[in-house]
Amino acid sequence: NAGVTQTPKFRILKIGQSMTLQCTQDMNHNYMYWYRQDPGMGLKLIYYSVGAGITDKGEVPNGYNVSRSTTEDFPLRLELAAPSQTSVYFCASSLSQFDMNTEAFFGQGTRLTVV
Amino acid sequence: GQSLEQPSEVTAVEGAIVQINCTYQTSGFYGLSWYQQHDGGAPTFLSYNALDGLEETGRFSSFLSRSDSYGYLLLQELQMKDSASYFCAVRSSGGSYIPTFGRGTSLIVHP
């Protein structure tokens, strides 16, 4: 049972380069999220999706884009990488917001450095 | 908006009991979750409280008081492997019930 899978695990980008962080889940979850985590800080929501074809901005969306063409996949796109985007990125998914015991499942993270 | 406050660091000795507090401000509160994150790893779900009271899961318990906008995570019989960061997260009806996380509490367990 794979759960939430993120690729790549590590990446170094040069300023101005672009890349896509991949995220896929095999639990048939409707909700998917992208968070970033800076050292010593909590998780900040970048974008989220409540189902295929529906995405919305979170707390820190600037410099990022997402798409959700299928239930399984939720890629995060960085168009023009900046040093401020150096962070650890986590993708997560959950079944729905109405479950009483709503658990979000996280991927192992992508460690991105922009130089 | 939403905000959560939790201590930045807590230390304890092996075998002891420790409580990690979380206070929150949010509109349309729906539930409080706790997650554990070991250094360099993915956050993993520990517990969820939607109603007032105590939820117990093995050595871990979580408490919620909706009237006080307050919750805590209680860890008993501490083990070295419990050294990790612990995050509280609120799920509110403002927006789309998306979890908002606190900054996390680093728990250091000493032998």
pLDDT tens-digit profile of B14-23?
Answer: 999 999 999 9
Give chain A's contact residues with B (Cβ, < 8 Å).
31, 33, 35, 40-45, 48, 50, 56, 58-59, 90, 92, 97-98, 100-109
- Inter-chain residue contact A33 with B100, CB threshold 8 Å: no
Where residue A102 falls among pLDDT bands split at 50, 70, 90?
Answer: low
What is the model's pLDDT at position B29?
79
Residue B38, pLDDT above cutoff 60: yes
List, as own/partner pairs, every contact residues A108-111 make where C-beta atoms lie below 8 angstroms and the sequence separation is at least 24, other chains included. A108/A6, A108/A9, A108/B41, A108/B42, A109/A6, A109/A9, A109/A37, A109/B40, A109/B41, A109/B42, A110/A6, A110/A7, A110/A8, A110/A9, A110/A10, A110/A11, A110/A21, A111/A9, A111/A10, A111/A11
What is the model's pLDDT at position A97?
60
Query: Of A112, A96, A93, which is closest to residue A104 (Cα–Cα)?
Result: A93
Residue in A closest to B96 by C-alpha: A97
pLDDT digits (tens, 9 = 90+) for B53-101: 999 989 999 999 999 999 999 999 999 999 999 999 987 665 556 778 8
**Distance to chain A for B65, nearest Cα, Å:** 17
What is the model's pLDDT at position A80?
94
Overall average pLDDT of the B2-11 stretch: 92
